Amino acid sequence: MPREAPPPPSWVDPEAQGSEEVTDAHTYIEAQVPETPPAPPEWDFTLPQLPVPDIFSPVPENMDERRDFNTWELAAAVRYGADLQWIQNYLRSFAAATIKARIDDEVEGFPSIFYAVESNNPAMLRLWASYGADVSAVHPATGTPLLAYAIILTYILDGQDTSPMVATLLSLGVSPKTIPESYYSPYTRDLPEDGPPLEEEGADVDEKWAWCTPAARKRLAQTANLTQRYYLERATRLKRAGVRHRQIASRRNAEAILGIPYFLIGQTIAANRLLRKLLSYITLPSRRPLVLAFAGPSGHGKTELARKLGYLLGLDLQVVDCTIVNQEKELFGPRAPYVGSERGSPLNNFIARNAGQRSIVFLDEFEKTSRDIHQSLLLPFDNGKHRTLADRGLALD
């Protein structure tokens, strides 16, 4: 009797035996290998369009009766121009714990904080961070870090400067090394049109900088201006605030002051001393004003330092030009019953508007004013009896 043919191997399709399409096992195996899926399209650094949300209208009176917190609605409101006050009111209508649990949710494939950065409003970014949003977030599909997006955003916004957003991210703890170091070290080096070669970054180039495609490198080189490159290099040399200082600042709702060194050009010693003084003052708060003397030649950034302090703390700032003030009534306005007492003065009215709140008064060129003005400030600085002034901080130049 003829012997039966052995059964075909398990990797051979019986129905295909004898077919011209599959002649051997090798051919069959190759036929079953799936095609390599095409690479996802490269991100063009624009965020997805979102439909206008139902909540985008004047702040609803029944905000406390709204449905559950929705990160998509929040991102859409920001995209369509809702201002900071509106967004704050919207967030206050939900439990803080609920927002913190959802603030990092993705909206059309992007962490919601990308939409906050797109607003190019540092206060909006700080609001996200106050609810625990991850400032080191990346675009999941490409791995592009938020810091890179903040730099390239100036291209999307038709040339608007995004340097304040970059400085804010760095002050909030984002590592400058999420950007290839060859872009900013040294920061004075002109960048090639297509960006510096990644080979300068050392090992693990393919893995670490996968997001930095030729198109991304070129766009980054076009948008990373001198100020941003300076901030990036400076951030690599700044020492992060310690745990104790962060705890103190957090308890006094003054965490933003820890970022002072990140927003200045130079002035490292002055910024560090100011920061230590502020931390000491808020550790043991007093009803007396915090008085600081900023000494130095004109043009060395004293006024800018005071402005940055007010900006970071979100405080109102009143600048008084002391070169044109020689009498007490010019500073505080005439006292009753003299004519004009009801109108006050810019400084007096500023203090009245900020009664019960923290604010900053900057007496610019203080040494050039008169002895009368010097004497008028001794009493509030000494014993705090002039409460409308003594409860507030003054910075002297």
- The answer as to CATH 3.40.50.300 being correct for domain 286-396 is yes
Alpha carbons 162 and 232: distance in angstroms, whole number: 13
Specify the pLDDT at position 387.
Answer: 35
**In the prediction, which pLDDT does 385 show?**
39
Give the residue, 70 or 309, on which the prediction is more confident.
70
What is the pTM for the complete model shown? 0.72
The predicted model gives 103-119 an average pLDDT of 95
Q: Per-residue confidence at 56, pLDDT binned at 50, 70, 90?
A: low
CA atoms of 264 and 271, how far apart (whole Å): 8
364 pLDDT band (50/70/90 cuts)?
Answer: confident
Q: Provide the 8-state DSSP code for 138.
A: B
Q: Which CATH number is associated with domain 63-237?
A: 1.25.40
Residues carrying CATH 1.25.40, the chain: 63-237
Which pLDDT value is given to residue 374? 76
What's the pLDDT tens digit per position in 366-383? 777 777 777 777 665 554
Is residue 129 a contact partner of residue 165, using CB atoms and an 8 Å limit?
no
Q: Which of 5-9, 44-48, 236-240 has the highest mean pLDDT?
A: 44-48
Angle at CA of residue 215, ends 213 and 220, nearest 5°: 90
d(CA 143, CA 344): 57
Query: What is the per-residue pLDDT across 141-177, written as a single tens digit (0 to 9) for each?
Result: 999 999 999 999 999 999 999 999 999 999 888 999 9
DSSP letters for 13-71: -GGGTT-SS--SHHHHHHHHSPPPPPPPPPP-S-PPP-PPPTT-SSPPTTGGG--S--H
Of 33-42, 188-197, 241-250, minimum mean pLDDT range: 33-42
Q: Percent of the chain beyond pLDDT 90?
A: 31
| Residue among 148, 69, 82, 158 nearest 121 (CA) | 82
Q: Using an 8 Å Cβ cutoff, are 287 and 391 in contact?
A: yes
Report the C-alpha gap between 278 and 376 in whole angstroms: 25
Residue 64 to residue 58: CA distance in whole angstroms: 14
CB burial of residue 347 (10 Å; 0-12, 13-18, 19+):
buried
Does 331 or 235 have the greater pLDDT score? 235
Q: CA 209 to CA 217: how far, in whole Å?
A: 10
Which residues of the chain does CATH 3.40.50.300 include?
286-396
